[in-house]
Structure formats: C-alpha cells, structure tokens
Amino acid sequence: MKVVIITGGSRGTGASTAKICAARGMGVVLTYNRNPAAADALVASIAAGGGTAVALKLDVGDVGSFLAFREEVASVLRTSFARTDFDFLVNNAGHGLYNPIVSVTEEEFDGLFAVHLKGPFFLTQTLLPLIVDGGHIINLTSATMRVAFAGVAPYASFKGGLEVLTRYMAKEFADRKIRANSVSPGAIRTELGGLNEEFEATLAGMIALGRVGEPEEIGGVIASLLSDDNRYINAQNIEVAGGYII
Ligand SMILES: NC(=O)c1ccc[n+]([C@@H]2O[C@H](COP(=O)([O-])OP(=O)(O)OC[C@H]3O[C@@H](n4cnc5c(N)ncnc54)[C@H](OP(=O)(O)O)[C@@H]3O)[C@@H](O)[C@H]2O)c1
C-alpha cells in the first residue's frame, strides 16, 4: 500500500485530498494543528469507508518540533502500515491573511513566512530520509502568484518562493528519483478562501468557468498527480483555477 502524508489534512483541500487518496487505496497520515476533532472525524469516516488513516498533530510553523514529528511518523508507519518509509508528501497546511502592504505587521509577515515557506522547506528536509526512492512531493502554491490580488502580498510572495523551491527539490532529489511538483489553486470554497456571497460573485466573474472551485477539485488533481499515469510530470506548477483571469 502506498502511503501519503498530508499536512493540514483535517480540513479544506487537505481533507479532500486525504479522502480521495484513501478511496484510491493509499494509506493516509494527515496532520492537524488546532482542530483535533475535525481530524478525528475524518479518520473515522475514512475507516468507515474501508480505508486507513492516522491523524498526527503538527504545527508547520514550529521547525523545532519536526524531529519529534519524524519519530512519530516512523512509529505510525510501523504500527499502522508495516512500513519503514512512505511514498508521498503533500505540503498543504497553511493560513491566509488579507491586509494591504501598507498595514502588514512584522508578526503577520513572519507567521506567513514560517508556515508557507520555511515550514515546507525544513519539514521536507526532516522527512526526506523516510521518503522512498521514486517518491513524490507536492507543494500547495496559489494562483495569487501569477495574478496580483491586492491584500495578499506576503502570502503570494512566499507561495512564489515555494514554487521556486519545488524546482530546487526536483533538482536536488533527482539522484533518488524523487519528483517534486506544485499545485496552485485559484479561489476554492474552504475556510481559508474566505468566501461570502458578494466576494464569491466577484471572483466568479474573473474565472472562465464562471464559478469558484470546490475542495475536491484540488484533492482530485493531487491524487491523480500521485498516480502512475502522471509519473513523468516533474518540477511543474499546475494551476487549478478554472481559468482565473486569462
Ligand atoms: N482555499 C483557497 O482558495 C486556496 C487558494 C490557493 C491556495 N490555497 C492553499 O491550499 C492549502 C490549503 O488551504 P485550505 O483552503 O484547504 O485551508 P483551510 O480549509 O483553512 O485548512 C487549513 C488546514 O491547514 C491546517 N493548518 C493551518 N495552520 C497550520 C499550521 N501552522 N501548522 C499545521 N497545520 C496548519 C489546518 O489545521 P487545523 O484546523 O487543525 O488548525 C487545516 O487542516 C494552503 O496551503 C493554501 O495556501 C488555498
């Protein structure tokens, strides 16, 4: 059984990815940060559908906790999957912030940097010894990298950094045939998406398909990228945004 680790797998696009991966026969290790109840409910629903999922706590902004997290992962791999390694890492966890450049605080800037760039960098570095040769890393970026959307400058800038980091991962992990790609959602109906009726209508007018996306439309792409059908895709950023400002 292939095993995928999904950070921020308790809600939104991560939860959707977890469900679809489990339905396709993968073992799932999903992480949560502040909301264990959502993670537990998802684990139970995957188990009820015949899949196997385990939830672990992880703050992606806390690099100092990553070594202990790796120990927990190793233990779960042994006990739940009879494995000493895993196949796929999805760096998905994150939070958003709407605040124009003129008023962003240093604390907000540092918080976004920690979760969207520094965290994925050091978490991948820490977990790398447990990833199989031929494995695959997927980083969640954002369509806000391509089109400037006022109010999300630090977030979008760090996502841009993550896109570059993805190419460097593909380069530096090539000796182990580990691939790295990023998936770049547009406006998706999750808590982070921050939609209300008016905002959704405005966004829909900017999207060729005329609507915002649903979490499973990101989860489906990630699960599909992890399948063998897509084994020659490497070092790419794949925007999944319904044709956002084209
Ligand atoms: N939704 C969109 O429109 C959109 C667009 C472009 C890109 N994205 C990207 O897609 C990814 C997922 O976003 P989403 O919309 O699914 O968000 P979401 O629904 O708000 O879910 C966020 C997930 O990340 C976890 N999380 C938050 N902060 C964390 C931290 N510091 N450490 C570890 N886990 C943390 C949450 O866990 P707890 O609930 O347990 O705290 C939750 O599982 C993010 O990287 C986001 O930037 C989303």
pLDDT digits (tens, 9 = 90+) for 49-103: 999 999 999 999 999 999 999 999 999 999 999 999 999 999 999 999 999 999 9
Beta strands in the chain (DSSP E): 3-6, 27-32, 53-57, 86-91, 131-140, 179-185, 237-240
Residue 189 is predicted with a pLDDT of: 97
Q: What are the backbone dihedrals phi and psi of residue 92, each rounded to the nearest 5 degrees, phi first?
A: -115, -25
Top CATH class, 3-240? alpha beta
**Does residue 161 have its Cβ closer than 6 Å to ligand 1?**
no
Q: What percent of the chain has pLDDT over 90?
A: 99
Q: Where are the domains of the chain?
A: 3-240
pLDDT digits (tens, 9 = 90+) for 109-166: 999 999 999 999 999 999 999 999 999 999 999 999 999 999 999 999 999 999 999 9
Quote the ligand 1 centre to 230 CA distance (angstroms). 25
pLDDT digits (tens, 9 = 90+) for 168-199: 999 999 999 999 999 999 999 999 989 999 99
pTM of the model: 0.99
Please state the atom number of ligand 1 nearest to the C-alpha of residue 14: 16
